[in-house]
Structure 1
Amino acid sequence: MPELPEVETVRRGLNRLVKGKKIERVRVDYPRMIVTGADSFREQLVGQTIMEVDRRGKYLLLYLTDFVLISHLRMEGKYNLFYDVVPINKHFHVFFALSDGSTLVYQDVRKFGTMELLREVDLDAYFLSKKLGPEPTEEDFDVAVFQTKLAKSKKPIKSHLLDQTLVAGLGNIYVDEVLFRAQVHPAQGSSTLTAEQVAGLRQATIDVLALGVEKGGSTIRTYKNALGMDGTMQDYLQVYGKQGQACPRCQTEIVKIQLGGRGTHFCPQCQVKHG
């Protein structure tokens, strides 16, 4: 957590609340979070206006007057906007004082999140270096390219979908949901998938993530989405966290296994491993 739907919800919330505001001061209480160096980060941000908040995969992109601030929320990163006094909280790490008197605060319990400041011309090379796959949309997610990449890999399909090179934005929750919808076993070898299974996986990825965005993401355990609001996608999950419950498709008991170090939920009747 968070995955693409949660990050997209944060993006929409930030765009609504901070777009057009100027950054007047920056305070960094955990410098290791700033990949490009905390001192230059603080100095270069002063006077920059937030022009637009965009997203690429699970990365937030804050387009500024002269730079792009790339924010990766990792496990539990979130943003809070305060209009008055900012409360003391040991998990608040980066503070952006804005021109209307409000303060945007980055909060991260585990301190895994990162920020870096790049020029816009360097963005393509940045994401190329990350080997980030296409966005999960009808326009960007090409089934022929997807099939070619899968055919070259012996990785279990779940692990492959999680690595972000096939398609951007999937994490543990949504991969389980995608595989269930497409009726593919999570341990199935990528190269053994049929053309029909590949097409089904592509469509399931697009549909599941679109539903997640529509529902504002999932609120599970400690994660709340944009600016502390709850999403409702957890009410629509079919297999994730449902071990021991009846499969909504065939009533077989949902099982949970460990695959590649990740808790993995599936229906042994609907998702049979082949090959």
Structure 2
Amino acid sequence: MPEIAEVARIVNRLRTHLVGKIITKVTPFEDAIVYKDTTHEAFKQALEGKKVLEARQWGKYFWLVMDSSPHPLMHFGMTGWIRFQHDSTAHYRATTPEENPTWPPRFAKFLFDLPDASSLAFTDPRRLSRIRLIDHPTGDLRLVSPLSENGPDPVQAPVSIDWLSAKLSARRVPLKAWLLDQSVLAGVGNWVGDEILYHARIHPEQGTNTLTAEMVARLHGALGYVTGLAVAVEADSSRFPQDWLMLHRWGKGEKRKVNVLPSGERIDFVKVGSRTSAFVPSLQRIVGEQAGRKRGRKVKGVEGVEESEQEEGEGEGEGEGSEVEEVKPAPKRRAKVKAVKKEEVDGDRGRDVPPPARRSLRAMAKAVKGEPEPKEEEESDFESLEVPAKKAKRVR
């Protein structure tokens, strides 16, 4: 899924190829799911012939500031992306430029034609992205919904240790799930969250309210380091340091391969908040009061599978401040009642049956005969019921 660094990559390309130019033609494609609170026709009418003044980002959201309102606000969801006709290396997963790419690309939601005869397209095969039109006089969309519900962008608005400590202690959830909550920090997704926790040497299931001051300090440093570097290199994994977890978390398709770091530490996987989390058991241990508690199930069979493919349908929606369920003590389970066969009930009628069971049997018998149900005090009727004898099984 495109996260804070991948979105930064697109915003930088938009600044290069689109900002300062007039959108000469808008070709929208109907999609009532992707176009949120607007339509593809309204999108065309609002933007065609307009000049793009700026391209901005906040977390996983990005938008274009036009020369007049409204302004388009976009979110990639799981598989959304913007493709540039003459810049095929712009996709963060691309290792080499495409030769003779098909244009327009498949799954396009809109096309922008520009004065220099170039074009760009917003695509999304899974339709989990969102495209909005927002009316705002200045184009600072951070002040309006849905961005107003998002937390700070850790690169554009770095948080302090005191802020981080206060936010953590106020909740009681697994730390990985807390990091993915966009109402807390905007832009942190699954792989960025795992990378932060790996560099902070904290287990993804560690409770937010159990962190020591030293752990909070390590988390604060890792948050700034990972997001800052990832954005600086525009999510280009070839420019990540070799000790980053991101480079070694998947097994590249080799069956039964054990994922390890260059130093030899094994990488393991666990489900946290319905998402697959990668961690290094030898370096990231649960400490304190949570050390002896039952943990989430481990995940197997993830070798060589991209995260968005493996976790089908487990996207983070639009990142509009998703709620994270608080950790509560597990309720005591009631003992399961074994199903009783009719023959066993018939055989037990002559035994000492508790009063509730007597009333139930009497009511059943009266209902079969078509008689009204007697009052609760008529206990003697139960004794007079004639119960047919059980038929003997035929022996062959």
Query: Per the shorter chain, which TM-score range?
Result: 0.7 to 0.9
Cross-structure match for 2:73: 70
Cross-structure match for 1:126: 145
1:95-174 matches, cutoff 5 A:
95-121=111-137, 123=141, 124-127=143-146, 129=148, 131-137=149-155, 140-174=158-192
Cross-structure match for 1:55: 57
Cross-structure match for 2:386: none
Q: Which amino acid aligns with 1:31?
A: D
With over 3 angstroms needed to count, the CA separation of the structure-2 counterparts of 1:216 and 1:236, relative to structure 1, is: farther
Separation in 1, partners of 2:105, 2:85 = 13
Greater relative contact order structure (CA < 8 Å, 6+ sep)? 1
CA contact (8 A) 2:9 2:231 kept: yes
Q: Deviations over 1:187-229 (max 9, x none)?
A: 011111112212211221111112212332156xxxxxxxxxx
CA contact (8 A) 1:242 1:265 kept: no
Structure 1: which 5+ runs fail to align? 220-230
Give, in angstroms, the shift of residue 106 of structure 1: 0.8
With over 3 angstroms needed to count, the CA separation of the structure-2 counterparts of 1:63 and 1:94, relative to structure 1, is: same
The normalised TM-score by structure 2 is 0.61
Partner residue of 1:44 out of 46, 59, 64: 46
Structure of larger gyration radius: 2
Partner residue of 1:237 out of 227, 232, 244: 244
> Which moves more between the two structures, 259-268 or 10-19?
259-268
Partner residue of 2:85 out of 79, 82, 85: 82
Q: Which amino acid aligns with 1:102?
A: S
CA contact (8 A) 2:104 2:121 kept: no
Cross-structure match for 1:9: 9
CA contact (8 A) 1:136 1:167 kept: yes
- SS of the residue aligned with 1:69? strand
Give, in angstroms, the shift of residue 245 of structure 1: 3.2
- SS of the residue aligned with 1:31? coil
Give, in angstroms, the shift of residue 47 of structure 1: 2.1
The normalised TM-score by structure 1 is 0.86
Q: Deviations over 1:20-69 (max 9, x none)?
A: 11122222213321113122221111221111111111111211111321
CA contact (8 A) 1:178 1:204 kept: yes
Cross-structure match for 2:280: 267
Task: Give the root-mean-square deviation of aligned CA atoms.
Answer: 2.5
With over 3 angstroms needed to count, the CA separation of the structure-2 counterparts of 1:140 and 1:212, relative to structure 1, is: closer
Separation in 2, partners of 1:52, 1:44 = 16
Give, in angstroms, the shift of residue 101 of structure 1: 2.7
Separation in 2, partners of 1:218, 1:150 = 31
With over 3 angstroms needed to count, the CA separation of the structure-2 counterparts of 1:36 and 1:200, relative to structure 1, is: same
CA contact (8 A) 2:5 2:231 kept: yes
Cross-structure match for 2:22: 22
Give, in angstroms, the shift of residue 241 of structure 1: 1.6
Separation in 2, partners of 1:105, 1:218 = 21
Separation in 2, partners of 1:51, 1:161 = 33
CA contact (8 A) 1:141 1:167 kept: no
Separation in 1, partners of 2:191, 2:30 = 29
CA contact (8 A) 1:162 1:170 kept: yes
Cross-structure match for 2:260: 246
Q: Which amino acid aligns with 2:112?
A: F
Separation in 1, partners of 2:48, 2:72 = 13
Give, in angstroms, the shift of residue 173 of structure 1: 0.6
Separation in 2, partners of 1:105, 1:145 = 39
Separation in 2, partners of 1:163, 1:63 = 27
Q: Deviations over 1:238-270 (max 9, x none)?
A: 266257333456x43221112222111111121
Cross-structure match for 1:226: none
Structure 2: which 5+ runs fail to align? 87-100, 252-257, 290-396
With over 3 angstroms needed to count, the CA separation of the structure-2 counterparts of 1:120 and 1:233, relative to structure 1, is: farther
Separation in 1, partners of 2:261, 2:243 = 13
Identical counterparts, % of pairs: 29
CA contact (8 A) 1:216 1:232 kept: no
- SS of the residue aligned with 2:271? strand
- SS of the residue aligned with 1:74? coil
Structure showing the higher strand proportion among its residues: 1
Give, in angstroms, the shift of residue 236 of structure 1: 5.6
Give, in angstroms, the shift of residue 81 of structure 1: 2.5
